[in-house]
């Protein structure tokens, strides 16, 4: 197994770190009262939704990058990806 530097976490994409944090929070050994549990559930849902939207935007941006062909701009039809 290759050796990993301690700085590897700081170079990881923010979206990946967020996903790992949310998933890790599901397995927390801490016991919370009902109010804290509800707040954590709401936080997880918000963070996860924001991550999904960010990923969708990344895909959308990639598919709309114009390709030059002569003087014409060609855009990829995003309907086939379900992004419309």
Looking up tokens 């301690």 gives 6
The whole-number pLDDT of residue 69 equals 46
The whole-number pLDDT of residue 38 equals 93
**Residue 68: in which H helix or E strand, if any?**
strand 67-69
Phi, then psi, of 65 in degrees rounded to 5 = -60, 125
pLDDT tens digits, residue range 3-58?
A: 555 555 567 788 888 888 888 888 888 888 999 999 999 999 999 899 889 888 88
Looking up tokens 């990058």 gives 65
The whole-number pLDDT of residue 68 equals 44
Q: What is the domain partition of the chain in residue ranges?
A: 13-81
Looking up tokens 């895909």 gives 59
Q: Which residues on neighbouring strands pair with residue 69, listed in sequence order?
A: 72
Helices (H), 1-84: 14-26, 34-63
């Amino acid at each position: 197994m290759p050796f990993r530097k301690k700085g590897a976490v700081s170079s990881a994409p923010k979206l990946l770190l967020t996903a790992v944090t949310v998933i890790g929070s599901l397995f927390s050994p801490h016991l919370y009262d009902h109010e804290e549990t509800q707040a954590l559930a709401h936080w997880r849902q918000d963070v996860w939704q924001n991550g999904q939207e960010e990923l969708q935007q990344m895909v959308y941006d990639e598919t709309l990058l114009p390709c030059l062909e002569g003087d014409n701009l060609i855009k990829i039809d995003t309907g086939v990806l379900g992004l419309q």
